[in-house]
Structure 1
Amino acid sequence: MTTMDAGQAPETTPGNSSIIDYAAYLRQQLALQQFNVASYRLGDEQVWLKKAGAPHGMGRYRAMAALAALLRLEVLRPVPNRGGNEAIATEVRRLRDLQARGLRVPTVLAAQEDGFLMRHLGRPAQQTPSLGNEIDHAVSAGPAAVLALWQQGLAAIAQVHAAGTCLSQAFARNLVRCPDGVVGYIDFEDDPAGVLPLPVCHARDALCYAHSTAIYLRLVGALDDARALWAAWVAAGSPELQAVMASSVGRMGWMRHLPQSRKLGRDMQRVRAAYDLLGP
């Protein structure tokens, strides 16, 4: 995992990790931890402790639901993350399920209703960079470097879909490159498949990834090459995914009229670049 937005907790070194009582450590440290997410050294390994935050209000989800209905875009239907203990339970369940399917996610070492302990995806004391950051940093190296990383993300999402599941928010920031080059997955506080049909969840993954990466493709002049790769990726998916993608992109046609000017802000640029990647 990356350092997320959490503070770095003091290191502790109780000995060889093979004899650590993770459940006892979780109980002890939860009472002391200041931040919602913090990292620790336990013997020869690095772990992350995530504790429950405050419950989330539902007002913004109702607004998003109204917008999705107005635009007739099922992929925009909100997936509630209620926060608190419910988010902890959801993330623990999803991490265990994804790992059982052979996907690279942090191992849950211990869990209780208000927090859980998981193993770092990288080497101790070494950050595991997000794919989003790596793509951003690769812009200076040119289109080939950006496209190579971008395709690795597409392949990682396809692997999740082939395993019969979906991600939570498939933005490039939630895909991480492990030291062995394998892409791992983080951040599972919500469960789209609990409220949406799986093909819609798969399309939602694809659109999240496009939204978070297309702007870098534009910056290096690689949108045309990426568009062909994207079309091939969608064509390799299930017929249900293809149908949802075609319907969704068709209803996003108004995005072609968005200006590309930086004066309207980075978020608007991301939306327009994503449409230019997805559109006909």
Structure 2
Amino acid sequence: MTASDSSAFYQHALQQCLLIQTGLMQSHILTNGEKVWVRQAGARNSAWRYHLLKIAQKISGIHMLQPVPNLGGIPALQTEASRLRALASAGVRVPAILAQQPDALMISHIGNHNLEKEWKHCKHQPELLLQRWQLGLNAIEDVHKRKQYLSETFARNMIYINQDSIGFIDFEDDPLSAMTLTQCHSRDWLCYLHSGARLMQEFGVTIQAKELWHSVLHNQPNEVSSIVNKSLHKIRWMRHLKAKFYGKDTLKLAAMAGYA
């Protein structure tokens, strides 16, 4: 199949998928057996996407966890397409854009489950769990070395491909539109820690996970590590909060605070 035939195939497939799609983001199996994802432009921004960061920022006071403004709809779709192309051009593992129109985007499927699910799958195998924790750290570091940045770098937005590779999804907002590149990098680290510190604690590998975290952060530019460390010191007082009645949002930050 030539590039022209391939483009026409996916563009036609996008039209067919939209005829039966019921959600804003949905998977489809094409006639060639390929699994793809189609995102439609919503009428407005999906506020639920930012609930986690809003709560975390409000409780912690960490500016870097502030959600990035997102208008939703067609602008968000255009932002995602632009970010996917930029990241792919830099060599970052992200879904490929297969077809696009103003109000819809078809992208490739890059993996069956995210890093958070992989952590939970490995929770009874400490060495393997820590390898997967390190894999996430390495993947973010690699993105930054390529002069790129991510968005909401939670483990659920990091696709586990294999023991050597992580892919990234979900780019409806562009942090660089609201902050500097250094701040974007700092935000990536804080989002990752926010999504993983509590789980590492629950699975009994906090000490080792901290050592791996500090080893990687130590190798980051001083400007980045300084922002991350100052942010964590702001919530250091929370590290002793462990009772369940504090709620999961507070306990995630409390586990994160222990890395200060």
Matched, 1:92 2:77: no
The SS at the match of 1:189 is coil
Matched, 1:102 2:91: yes
Identical columns (%) = 36
The equivalent of 2:43 in structure 1 is 54
Matched, 1:134 2:123: no
CA–CA distance in structure 2, aligned partners of residues 185 and 19 of structure 1: 23
Matched, 1:272 2:254: yes
Distance apart, 1:241 and its partner CA: 0.5
CA–CA distance in structure 1, aligned partners of residues 184 and 72 of structure 2: 20
CA–CA distance in structure 2, aligned partners of residues 180 and 256 of structure 1: 31
CA–CA distance in structure 2, aligned partners of residues 219 and 45 of structure 1: 37
The equivalent of 1:228 in structure 2 is 211
The SS at the match of 1:81 is coil
Distance apart, 1:116 and its partner CA: 0.5
The equivalent of 1:116 in structure 2 is 105
After TM superposition, the structure 1 = structure 2 runs for residues 239-278 of structure 1, keeping only pairs within 5 Å, are 239-257=222-240, 259-276=241-258, 278=259
CA–CA distance in structure 2, aligned partners of residues 254 and 56 of structure 1: 35
Matched, 1:79 2:62: no
CA–CA distance in structure 2, aligned partners of residues 83 and 52 of structure 1: 7
Distance apart, 1:18 and its partner CA: 4.5
Contact residue 53 and residue 83 of structure 1 kept, 8 A: yes
- Distance 1:180-1:77 versus aligned 2 partners, 3 A rule: closer
Higher relative helix content: 2
CA–CA distance in structure 2, aligned partners of residues 47 and 156 of structure 1: 23
Contact residue 132 and residue 163 of structure 2 kept, 8 A: no
- Distance 1:40-1:179 versus aligned 2 partners, 3 A rule: farther
The equivalent of 1:12 in structure 2 is none
The equivalent of 1:156 in structure 2 is 139
Distance apart, 1:181 and its partner CA: 4.4
- State which of 173, 179, 185 in structure 2 corresponds to 1:202: 185
Deviation readout 1:55-111 (Å, 9 max, x if unpaired)? 1288x89x95xx67x94x431333012211111111111111111100111100111
CA–CA distance in structure 1, aligned partners of residues 213 and 25 of structure 2: 35
Instruction: For 2:42, give the aligned amino acid.
Output: G
Contact residue 74 and residue 200 of structure 1 kept, 8 A: no
RMSD of the TM alignment (CA)?
2.5
The equivalent of 2:20 in structure 1 is 32
Higher mean C-alpha displacement, 37-46 vs 82-91: 37-46
The equivalent of 1:7 in structure 2 is none
The equivalent of 1:3 in structure 2 is none
The equivalent of 2:167 in structure 1 is 184
The equivalent of 2:155 in structure 1 is 172
Contact residue 202 and residue 241 of structure 1 kept, 8 A: yes
Deviation readout 1:187-239 (Å, 9 max, x if unpaired)? 11111111111111111111111111111211232211221211111111112
Unaligned regions of 5+ residues in structure 2, if any? none
CA–CA distance in structure 2, aligned partners of residues 92 and 19 of structure 1: 16
Instruction: For 2:255, give the aligned amino acid.
Output: A
The SS at the match of 2:100 is strand
Distance apart, 1:180 and its partner CA: 7.3
The SS at the match of 1:38 is strand
The equivalent of 1:217 in structure 2 is 200
Over 6 Å off, 4+ runs: none
Distance apart, 1:22 and its partner CA: 1.6
The TM-score, its normalising length taken from structure 2, stands at: 0.87
CA–CA distance in structure 2, aligned partners of residues 57 and 133 of structure 1: 24
Unaligned regions of 5+ residues in structure 1, if any? 1-16, 123-127
